[in-house]
């Protein structure tokens, strides 16, 4: 019951201190009536916390008393609370060195004893000091650490304060979307817990963000909401800061009457309250307003006032930032000096107590020197090792760069291949289908006689066969490029692979009066994938027919050389030039430019690429000999599984 009474008394009385000074005496009477020093200490810290925005001087007095009492009682929890209060009160009073010292002490003590809430409050104090230096990035980091702590301890005050500070600093560095998000989150918690000061602050930050984004109507509504809250609770400094913002928003929206009304109110409140920062902005917006109204004389007057006050404020701000820097430096310097003096004093005491320890100190110094020397040698060795590692990494990076270049070249070749295939799909495949469609339409309309159809049927058959071969090669190639494609080699007789290919291409050969002679041992076996081998042989024989003249011949034979078996396809057609042969054999070309056959047959250029790729997957190879005008000899080389001699089969 006593603790409950204490809390109610602190909150109830301090809530009215800004209007009734006599209530301060009532608060002191409550303090004097507390039964123990511990209760008084808790009362002082809570009262100082509640007064530090409304009455900083009284908050300072009680915080100092709380600090002394906490030291006397050896209460580290209340000590860190008092130091946190002092850090913020000194910040409000502009005494930067003490603000930094007490905030730092609160952070260190809070961290040591595990008081996470006070750690979060101290982080907010330190972040505010960085904000004062305009070091917004460091300030944001401190406030985010404080926010994390607020979530850990589930403290709404700490969470809202941290979110508002993050939003403010993010808006200063132009990260408006992030600032808006934090401000909206803070507003939700504001409304839930009814934090008046933070509510007005949050609405003002949101209004600034909306104004920066050009969302004038929403900005005006938000500023008016902030003004309503601050006016109801007599927060004059906030009123002044919102008046000039509303004036600017109404100028931008074109409502100069409203702008003038709010700016004149802001001018009055700023002058009466001595709010120089808000007065500076009010002068600037009044100059803009009268310039827009065409009143040059008034615009000049306010612009002159703005320039003069801005000069004064810049000098004051520079002094404040220098004071903050100097305060931080002085704190660190004094801490270092104190530590140094303590160390020196300890050394003198040791020297006085026992001179003999000097020898030990010298010995320790020698050992330390040796240790440092060894340490330096180790560090030097590590540095050299790090240098070698860096060189290795550079070598790896160079290899990766070359691999990237190779991948880029492969990608370019892949794009060329894609374009070539699209060309085939768009032209070479469309033409025979279009021819067939035209003939079928003539037949359907009975515009083509039976004799005429028979006269062109062999052409249609040849075109359809070519279309089938083209589609089949593209599908096979596409399947070979997919992940999961696997070669399945097995024992296979060569004759069982060759014969189906000849049967499939019989009509193609007959249409050109070409005779194919077959010399293949019926028992000769190879170790290969029968499906892929059939694709290879079919493409080679098809190419031989394609580039053979009418009435020519083609020889298909096998030849044994040790542990390998060679399948030879020899034609006596047009042959190839040395340049094209070199392109096929030696260069890395994935998609060859297809040449027209002796009767204008077309292809995709995929055939030989498929043959080379599939043979490499089966530990085989492809050999080509050709002379322009004399023909081409293509040899498939595969591992052989028997040692039987090659016996000629009756020519087909």
The per-residue pLDDT for range 285-340, each reduced to its tens digit, is 999 999 999 999 998 999 999 999 888 867 766 666 666 666 666 656 655 655 66
Q: How confident is the model at residue 505 (pLDDT cuts 50, 70, 90)?
A: confident
Q: Is the pLDDT of residue 256 over 70?
A: yes
Instruction: Read off the pLDDT of each residue in 53-66 and give the average, rounded to a whole number.
Output: 83
C-alpha separations of 532 from 260, 396, 482, 529, 611 in Å: 87, 38, 15, 5, 9
Assess whether 314 and 386 both reside in one domain.
Answer: no
pLDDT tens digits, residue range 365-395? Answer: 888 888 888 988 888 888 888 888 888 888 8
**Is 210 inside any structural domain?**
no
- CATH value at residue 547: 3.30.565.10
* 345 found inside a domain: no
Q: Is the pLDDT of residue 162 over 60?
A: yes
Other C-beta atoms lying within 10 Å of the C-beta of residue 110: 26
Alpha-carbon distance values, 361 to 333, 344, 364 (Å): 28, 14, 5
Number of CB atoms found within 10 A of residue 40's CB:
19
Among 137-141, 210-214, 234-238, name the one with the lowest average pLDDT.
234-238
473-499 pLDDT, tens digit per residue, is: 566 555 555 544 577 888 888 898 899
**N-terminal to C-terminal alpha carbon distance within the chain:** 115
The pLDDT tens digits of the residues spanning 448-475 come to 666 766 666 666 665 666 566 566 656 6
Q: Is the sign of the CA dihedral 441, 446, 450, 451 positive or negative?
A: negative
Q: Is residue 52 part of a domain?
A: yes
Q: What is the pLDDT of residues 75-125, one digit of tens each?
A: 999 999 999 999 888 887 777 778 888 989 999 999 999 999 999 999 998
pLDDT, residue 593, reads 58
What is the rounded CA–CA span in Å between residue 291 and residue 617? 82
409 and 536 housed in the same domain: no
In terms of domains, do 285 and 419 share one? no
Residue 389 lies in a domain: yes
What's the confidence (pLDDT) of residue 432? 62
State residue 257's pLDDT score.
92
Among 325-334, 419-428, 539-548, 606-615, name the one with the lowest average pLDDT.
419-428
In a domain, 282, yes or no: yes
pLDDT at 16: 42
Placement of tokens 């892949």 in the chain: 414
Secondary structure (3-state) at 108:
helix
Is pLDDT above 50 for 650?
A: no
| Judgement on whether residues 395 and 324 belong to the same structural domain of the protein | no
* pLDDT for residue 463: 61
Residues 633 and 521 in one domain: yes
Q: Is residue 299 part of a domain?
A: yes
CA angle centred on 384, ends 380 and 390, rounded to 5° = 140
What residues are paired with 565 via a beta bridge?
Answer: 560, 638
Say how many domains are in the chain: 4
Encoded tokens for 87: 């850090």
Is the domain of 492 the same as that of 610?
yes
Residue 587, pLDDT above cutoff 80: no
Task: Supply the mean pLDDT for the chain.
Answer: 79
Residues 312 and 381 in one domain: no
pLDDT at residue 51 tops 50: yes
Closest CA to 509 of 323, 652, 333: 652
Same domain membership, residue 405 and residue 322: no
User: What would the pLDDT profile of 1-45 be if each residue is shown by its tens digit?
Assistant: 334 334 434 444 444 444 345 556 666 666 666 778 888 888 888
Last residue of a domain, one of 90, 109, 131: 90
- Residues 527, 603, single domain; the answer is yes
pLDDT at 152 over 90: yes
| pLDDT (0 to 100) of residue 144 | 94
List the domain range (segments joined by +) for residue 303.
254-329
Reduced to 3 states (helix: H, G, I; strand: E, B; else coil), residue 179 is: helix
Q: Give 163's pLDDT tier (boundaries 50, 70, 90).
A: very high
User: Which pLDDT does position 393 carry in this prediction?
Assistant: 85
Instruction: Give the integer Cα–Cα distance in Å for 640 and 638.
Output: 6
Q: Are residues 492 and 570 in the same domain?
A: yes
Q: Of 305, 314, 252, 313, whose CA–CA distance to 282 is shortest?
A: 305
Query: String of b and e for 457-479 (b: at least 16 CB within 10 Å)?
Result: eeeeebbebbbebbeebbebbee
**Residue 574, SS3?**
coil
Residues in the chain: 652
Helices then strands (H, E): number in the chain?
24, 7
Q: Are residues 292 and 417 in the same domain?
A: no
What number is the average pLDDT over the span 523-534? 87
Position 20 scores a pLDDT of 43
Q: What is the percent of the chain where pLDDT is above 70?
A: 74
SS (H, E, C) 458-485: HHHHHHHHHHHHHHHHHHHHHHHHCCCC
The separation between CA 392 and the C-alpha centre of its own chain, rounded to angstroms, equals 28
Residue 516 is predicted with a pLDDT of 92
The verdict on 503 and 634 lying in the same domain is yes
Structure tokens at 487: 């070669």
Report which of residues 418 and 275 the model is more confident about.
275
Residue 163 lies in a domain: no
Q: Is 591 exposed, middle or buried (0-12, 13-18, 19+ CB in 10 A)?
A: buried
Reported as a single tens digit per residue, the pLDDT across 238-252 is 788 889 999 999 999
- Between CA 190 and CA 159 the distance in angstroms is 10
pLDDT at 65 over 60: yes
**212 or 199, greater pLDDT:** 212
Give tens-digit pLDDT for 543-576: 888 889 888 999 999 989 888 888 999 999 888 8
Beta bridge partners of 519: 557
Examine residue 506 and state whether it is found in any structural domain, yes or no: yes
């Amino acid at each position: 019951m006593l603790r409950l009474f204490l809390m109610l008394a602190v909150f109830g009385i301090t809530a009215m201190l800004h209007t009734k000074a006599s209530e301060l005496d009532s608060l002191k009477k409550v303090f004097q009536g507390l039964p123990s020093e511990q209760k008084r200490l808790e009362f002082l810290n809570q009262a100082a916390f509640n007064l530090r925005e409304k009455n900083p001087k009284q908050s300072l007095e009680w915080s100092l008393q709380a600090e002394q009492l906490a030291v006397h009682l050896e209460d580290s929890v209340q000590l860190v609370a008092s130091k946190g209060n002092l850090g913020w009160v000194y910040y409000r009073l502009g005494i930067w060195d003490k603000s930094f010292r007490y905030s730092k002490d609160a952070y260190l003590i809070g961290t040591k004893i595990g008081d996470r809430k006070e750690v979060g409050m101290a982080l907010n104090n330190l972040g505010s000091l960085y904000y004062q230096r305009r070091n917004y990035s460091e300030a944001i980091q401190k406030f985010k650490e404080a926010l994390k702590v607020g979530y850990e301890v589930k403290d709404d005050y700490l969470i809202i304060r941290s979110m508002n500070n993050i939003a403010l600093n993010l808006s200063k560095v132009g990260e408006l979307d992030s600032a808006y998000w934090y401000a909206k989150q803070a507003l939700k918690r504001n409304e839930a817990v009814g934090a008046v000061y933070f509510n007005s602050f949050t609405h003002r930050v949101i209004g600034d963000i909306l104004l920066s984004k050009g969302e004038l109507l929403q900005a005006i509504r938000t500023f008016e909401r902030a003004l309503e809250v601050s006016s109801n609770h007599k927060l004059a400094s906030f009123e002044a800061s919102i008046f000039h913002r509303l004036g600017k928003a109404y100028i931008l929206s074109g409502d100069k009457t409203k702008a003038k009304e709010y700016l004149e109110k802001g001018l009055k409140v700023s002058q009466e309250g001595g709010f120089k920062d808000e007065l500076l902005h009010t002068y600037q917006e009044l100059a803009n307003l009268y310039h827009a109204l065409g009143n040059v004389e008034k615009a000049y007057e306010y612009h002159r006032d703005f320039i003069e006050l801005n000069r004064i404020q810049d000098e004051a701000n520079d002094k404040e930032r220098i004071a903050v820097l100097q305060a931080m430096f002085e704190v660190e310097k004094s801490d270092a000096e104190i530590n140094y003096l303590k160390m020196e004093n300890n050394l003198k005491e040791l020297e006085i107590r026992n001179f003999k320890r000097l020898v030990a100190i010298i010995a320790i110094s020698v050992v330390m020197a040796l240790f440092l020397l060894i340490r330096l040698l180790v560090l030097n060795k590590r540095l050299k090792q790090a240098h070698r590692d860096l060189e290795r990494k550079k070598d790896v990076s160079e290899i990766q760069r070359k691999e990237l270049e190779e991948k880029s070249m492969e990608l370019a070749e892949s794009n060329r291949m894609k374009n070539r295939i699209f060309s085939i799909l768009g032209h070479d495949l469309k033409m025979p289908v279009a021819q067939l469609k035209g003939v079928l339409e003539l037949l359907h309309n009975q515009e083509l006689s039976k004799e005429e159809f028979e006269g062109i049927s062999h052409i249609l058959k040849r075109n359809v066969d070519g279309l089938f071969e083209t589609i089949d090669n593209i599908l096979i190639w596409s399947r070979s490029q997919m992940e999961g494609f696997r070669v399945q080699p097995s024992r296979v007789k060569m004759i069982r692979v060759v014969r189906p290919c000849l049967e499939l291409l019989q009509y193609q050969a007959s249409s050109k009066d070409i005779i194919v002679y077959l010399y293949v041992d019926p028992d000769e076996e190879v170790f290969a994938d029968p499906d892929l081998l059939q694709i290879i042989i079919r493409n080679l024989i098809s190419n031989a027919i394609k580039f053979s003249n009418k009435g020519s011949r083609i020889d298909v034979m096998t030849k044994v050389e040790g542990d390998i078996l060679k399948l030879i396809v020899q034609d006596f057609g047009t042959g190839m030039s040395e340049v094209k042969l070199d392109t096929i054999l030696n260069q890395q070309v994935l998609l060859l430019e297809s040449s027209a056959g002796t009767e204008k047959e077309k292809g995709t250029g995929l055939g030989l690429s498929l043959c080379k790729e599939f043979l490499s997957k089966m530990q085989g190879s492809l050999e080509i000999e050709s002379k322009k005008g004399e023909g081409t000899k293509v040899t498939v080389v595969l591992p052989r599984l028997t040692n039987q001699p090659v016996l000629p089969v009756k020519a087909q």
